[in-house]
Chains A and B, each alone.
Chain A
Amino acid sequence: MNTLTARFLTLNSWQRALVAGALGLFALSITRIVAGADDLTSGNTLIATLATAAPIIAVALGGLFSERSGVANIGLEGMMVLGTWFAAFAGWQWGPWAALAGGAFGGMLGGLMHALATVTFGVDQIVSGVAINFIAPGVARFLSSEIFVGEGANKEGTISSSPNITDAMGRFSVPGLADGLKSIDDKRWFFVSDVAGVLRAFVDQMAWSTLIILLLIPISIYVLWRTPFGLRLRSVGEKPSAAESLGVGVYRLKYISVAISGALAGLGGAWLVVNVRQYGEGQTAGRGFLGLAALIFGNWQPIGVALGALLFSYGISLQQAVGTKPIKALYLFIAAAFLGLCLFMVFGRKSKRGALMLAVVAGGLYAYYLNTDEVASQIVYMTPYIIVLVVITFASSRSRPPAAVGIPWRRGQSG
Chain B
Amino acid sequence: MTDAALTDDAPERPAIELRGIVKRFPGVVANDGVNLAVRPGTIHAIVGENGAGKSTLMKTLYGAHRPDEGEILLHGEAVTFKSPRDAISRGIGMVFQHFMLADNLTVWENIVLGDEPGSKAFLDRKRARRTLVELGARYGLRVNPDAYVSDLGVGDKQRVEILKVLFRGAQIIILDEPTAVLVPQEVDALFASLRSLTAEGVTVIFISHKLDEVRAVADDITVIRAGRTVGEVQPGDVTARQLAEMMVGRELPRPEPRTDAPSETVELLLGDVCIAGPGELDILDHVSITVRRGEVVGIAGVEGNGQSELLDAIMGLRPLKSGMISVGGNSLDGLSTRDRRDVGVGYIPEDRHKDGVVLPAPLWENVMLGHQGSKPFSVRGWINRIAARAAAKKIIAEYDVRTPGCDVAAIALSGGNQQKLIVGREMTAGPCVLIAAHPTRGVDVGAQSAIWDYIRVARTEGLAVLLISADLEELLALSDTLLVMLRGAIVATLDPKTVTIAELGAYMTGAAETEAA
- Residues of A bordering B, CB below 8 Å: 226-232, 234-235, 238-239, 241-248, 400, 402-403, 412, 414-415
Kindly state the separation between the CA atoms of A230 and B64 in the bound complex, as whole angstroms: 24
- Say which residue of B55, B94, B109, B115 sits within 8 Å of A235 (CB atoms): B109
Which partner residue on chain B sits nearest A413 by CB separation? B64
- Say which residue of B83, B105, B114, B164 sits within 8 Å of A238 (CB atoms): B105
Q: Are A241 and B100 in contact (CB under 8 A)?
A: yes
Distance in angstroms from B96 CB to nearest chain A CB is 5
Q: Are A228 and B84 in contact (CB under 8 A)?
A: no
- Say which residue of A227, A239, A244, A414 sits within 8 Å of B122 (CB atoms): A227
Q: Are B104 and A228 in contact (CB under 8 A)?
A: no
Q: 6 closest A-B pairs (Cβ-Cβ)? A: A247-B85, A246-B114, A238-B102, A228-B116, A242-B100, A239-B102
Kindly state the separation between the CA atoms of A244 and B59 in the bound complex, as whole angstroms: 13
Contacts A238-B103, A403-B104, A415-B64 given; indicate if A227 touches B120 (C-beta within 8 A).
Answer: yes
Q: Are B84 and A247 in contact (CB under 8 A)?
A: yes
Q: Are A231 and B113 in contact (CB under 8 A)?
A: yes
Kindly state the separation between the CA atoms of A238 and B104 in the bound complex, as whole angstroms: 7
Q: Are A403 and B94 in contact (CB under 8 A)?
A: no
- Say which residue of A227, A242, A243 sits within 8 Å of B123 (CB atoms): A227
Which A residues touch B176, using CB under 8 A?
A: 415
Which B residues touch A226, using CB under 8 A?
A: 122-123, 125
- Say which residue of A229, A246, A400, A403 sits within 8 Å of B115 (CB atoms): A246
Interface residues of B in 371-421 (CB under 8 A from A): none
Does B65 touch A at the CB level, under 8 Å? yes
A-B pair count, CB < 8 Å, reads 88
Contacts A226-B123, A412-B64, A415-B59 given; indicate if A231 touches B100 (C-beta within 8 A).
Answer: no
Q: Are A243 and B114 in contact (CB under 8 A)?
A: yes
Q: Are A246 and B120 in contact (CB under 8 A)?
A: no
Distance in angstroms from B150 CB to nearest chain A CB is 10
Which partner residue on chain B sits nearest A229 by CB separation? B120
Distance in angstroms from A155 CB to nearest chain B CB is 48
Kindly state the separation between the CA atoms of A242 and B94 in the bound complex, as whole angstroms: 11
Interface residues of B in 74-117 (CB under 8 A from A): 83-85, 88, 94, 96, 98, 100-105, 109-110, 112-116
- Say which residue of A229, A230, A245, A400 sits within 8 Å of B84 (CB atoms): A245
Which A residues touch B94, using CB under 8 A?
A: 245, 415
Besides A226-B123, A243-B114, 5 other A-B contacts (C-beta < 8 A)? A228-B118, A228-B120, A232-B114, A248-B113, A414-B100
Which A residues touch B261, using CB under 8 A?
A: none
A–B pairs, 27, beta carbons within 8 Å: A226-B123, A227-B122, A228-B118, A228-B123, A230-B123, A231-B113, A231-B116, A231-B123, A234-B104, A234-B105, A235-B102, A238-B103, A239-B102, A242-B102, A243-B102, A245-B64, A245-B96, A246-B88, A246-B115, A247-B115, A412-B65, A414-B84, A415-B59, A415-B94, A415-B96, A415-B98, A415-B176
Q: Are A247 and B100 in contact (CB under 8 A)?
A: no
- Say which residue of A242, A402, A412 sits within 8 Å of B113 (CB atoms): A242
Distance in angstroms from A40 CB to nearest chain B CB is 39
Most buried by A among B98, B100, B102, B105: B102
Does B216 touch A at the CB level, under 8 Å? no
Which A residues touch B105, using CB under 8 A?
A: 231, 234-235, 238
Q: Are B103 and A403 in contact (CB under 8 A)?
A: yes
Q: What 1/0 flags go to B44-87 for Cβ under 8 Å of A?
A: 00000000000100110010110000000000000000011100
Kindly state the separation between the CA atoms of A226 and B126 in the bound complex, as whole angstroms: 11
Q: Are A242 and B101 in contact (CB under 8 A)?
A: yes
Which partner residue on chain B sits nearest A228 by CB separation? B116
Q: What 1/0 flags go to B434-464 for Cβ under 8 Å of A?
A: 0000000000000000000000000000000
Which partner residue on chain A sits nearest B63 by CB separation? A247
Does B28 touch A at the CB level, under 8 Å? no
Distance in angstroms from B481 CB to nearest chain A CB is 38
Q: Are B123 and A246 in contact (CB under 8 A)?
A: no
- Say which residue of A230, A242, A414 sits within 8 Å of B110 (CB atoms): A242
Kindly state the separation between the CA atoms of A230 and B125 in the bound complex, as whole angstroms: 13
Distance in angstroms from B72 CB to nearest chain A CB is 17
Interface residues of B in 161-180 (CB under 8 A from A): 164, 176
Does B121 touch A at the CB level, under 8 Å? yes
Which A residues touch B100, using CB under 8 A?
A: 239, 241-242, 245-246, 414-415
Most buried by A among B100, B101, B110, B113: B113
Which partner residue on chain A sits nearest B64 by CB separation? A415
Kindly state the separation between the CA atoms of A232 and B85 in the bound complex, as whole angstroms: 15
Which B residues touch A230, using CB under 8 A?
A: 123
Distance in angstroms from A226 CB to nearest chain B CB is 6
Which B residues touch A244, using CB under 8 A?
A: 84
Which A residues touch B103, using CB under 8 A?
A: 238-239, 403
Kindly state the separation between the CA atoms of A137 and B332 in the bound complex, as whole angstroms: 56
Kindly state the separation between the CA atoms of A125 and B382 in the bound complex, as whole angstroms: 34
Q: Are B164 and A247 in contact (CB under 8 A)?
A: no
Which partner residue on chain B sits nearest A223 by CB separation? B121
Kindly state the separation between the CA atoms of A413 and B112 in the bound complex, as whole angstroms: 21
Which B residues touch A412, using CB under 8 A?
A: 64-65
Which partner residue on chain B sits nearest A402 by CB separation? B104
